[in-house]
């Protein structure tokens, strides 16, 4: 069964610092991988999606993630944090197209300090 | 283009009652999926409908059911409500399915007393 683990339920960074949110998946088959963001009192919004076309995926708002099959990881990064990045971030995995479930990690709350 | 809408936004019910939540997807989207979000369990997949057929299902009891209409609008029903059903229920739509970008609605906050 597919699963995804996000290391760290809370991450705090200073404005302008590097953002690193960790996600590891468990799968024997290259999965579909996503990062979603949930701003306070809002629904989720897709940040980026891994499609196997490239291991480094660029998303919206300056975020990117690198797929590393050998490490079964899909960590999310942003070079310089902005106050508006404060939100909850979810890594999600699906095993295969239209035949599985969309499994979310537990989420990581990102706090950005001025 | 209008986003995903969910009604009602807030709902208070008592144990044993049943509830129906509604979701209107983005125009042209044929896939609608439902999720339960709680502080303890996080985001959990309930089910996905595509062209009026349930295509995928999560690990929830039979009290949770859904359906999709010919216009892609979807409803989710929870019967015999339990206190643990209190949660934010999110609906998402996409063009073709779970491997495509999901567009989420604002959710329905259900409180069971």
Of B33, B43, B56, the CB nearest to A90: B43
Quote the radius of gyration of chain B (alpha carbons, Å).
13
B13 Cα to chain A: minimum distance (Å): 21
pLDDT at A96: 55
Task: Summarize pLDDT for A13-66 with one digit per residue, the tens.
Answer: 999 999 999 999 886 666 689 999 999 878 899 999 988 778 899 999 999 999
pLDDT tens-digit series, residues B29-74: 999 999 999 998 999 999 999 999 999 888 899 999 999 999 999 9
Contact A8, A22 (CB under 8 A): yes
CB contact (8 A) between residue B101 and residue A46: yes
Residue contact A102–B50, C-beta within 8 A: no
- Judging by beta carbons within 10 Å of its beta carbon (0-12, 13-18, 19+), is residue B105 exposed, middle or buried? buried
Q: Which DSSP letter does residue B28 get?
A: T
Rounded CA-CA distance A18/A56 in Å is: 17
Residues of B in contact with A44 (CB under 8 A): 90, 92, 102, 104
Please tell me the predicted confidence (pLDDT) of residue B98: 82
Q: Does residue A49 contact residue A31 with C-beta atoms inside 8 Å?
A: no
pLDDT of residue B105: 95
Q: Chain B closest CA to A15's CA: distance in Å? A: 27
Mean pLDDT over residues B15-22, rounded?
Answer: 98
Which residues touch B56 (CB under 8 Å, ≥6 apart)?
Answer: A98, A99, A100, A101, B33, B45, B47, B48, B98
The confidence score (pLDDT) of residue B23 equals 98
DSSP A68-85: EGGGTEEEEEESS--GGG
pLDDT at B107 over 90: yes
> If you average pLDDT over residues A82-108, what whole number do you get?
84
DSSP letters of chain A?
Answer: --EEEEE-SEEEEETTS-EEEEEEEE-SS--EEEEEEE-TTS-EEEEEEE-SS-SEEE-GGG-EEEEEGGGTEEEEEESS--GGG-EEEEEEEESSTTTS--EE---EEEEEE-
Q: Hey, are the CB atoms on B43 and A49 less than 8 Å from each other?
A: no
Confidence bin at A98 (pLDDT 50/70/90):
very low
Paired tokens of A42 = 């809002």
Q: For A43, which of B55, B90, B101 is closest by C-beta distance?
A: B90
Taking the C-alpha atoms of residue B36 and residue B104, their distance in angstroms, rounded to an integer, is 12
pLDDT score of A99: 54
Nearest to B105 among A43, A102, A107 (CB): A43
What average pLDDT score do residues A109-113 get? 97
pLDDT, mean of residues A106-114: 96
CB contact under 8 A, B102 and A43: no
Mean pLDDT over each residue of chain A, to the nearest integer: 89
Report whether pLDDT(A8) > 60. Answer: yes
A99–B contact, CB cutoff 8 A: yes
When pLDDT is cut at 50, 70 and 90, the band that residue B10 belongs to is very high
The three-state secondary structure class of B85 is: helix
């Amino acid at each position: 069964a597919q699963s995804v683990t996000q290391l760290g339920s809370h991450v705090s960074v200073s404005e302008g610092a590097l953002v690193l949110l960790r996600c590891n998946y468990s799968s024997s088959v290259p999965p579909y991988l996503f990062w979603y963001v949930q701003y306070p009192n809002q629904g989720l919004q897709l940040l980026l999606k891994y499609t196997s076309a490239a291991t480094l995926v660029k998303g919206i708002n300056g975020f990117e993630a690198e797929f590393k099959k050998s490490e079964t990881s899909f960590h999310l990064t942003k070079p310089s944090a902005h106050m508006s990045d404060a939100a909850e971030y979810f890594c999600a995995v699906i095993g295969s197209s239209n035949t599985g479930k969309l499994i979310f990690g537990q989420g990581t709350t990102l706090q950005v300090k001025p | 283009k209008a986003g995903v809408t969910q009604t009602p936004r807030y709902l208070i019910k008592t144990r044993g009652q049943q509830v129906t939540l509604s979701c209107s997807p983005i125009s042209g989207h044929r896939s609608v999926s439902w999720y339960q979000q709680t502080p303890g369990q996080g985001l959990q997949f309930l089910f996905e409908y595509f062209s009026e057929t349930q295509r995928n299902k999560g690990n929830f009891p039979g009290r949770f059911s859904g359906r999709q209409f010919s216009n892609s609008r979807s409803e989710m029903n929870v019967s015999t409500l339990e206190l643990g059903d209190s949660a934010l229920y999110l609906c998402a739509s996409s063009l073709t399915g779970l491997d495509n970008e999901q567009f989420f609605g604002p959710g329905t906050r259900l409180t069971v007393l």
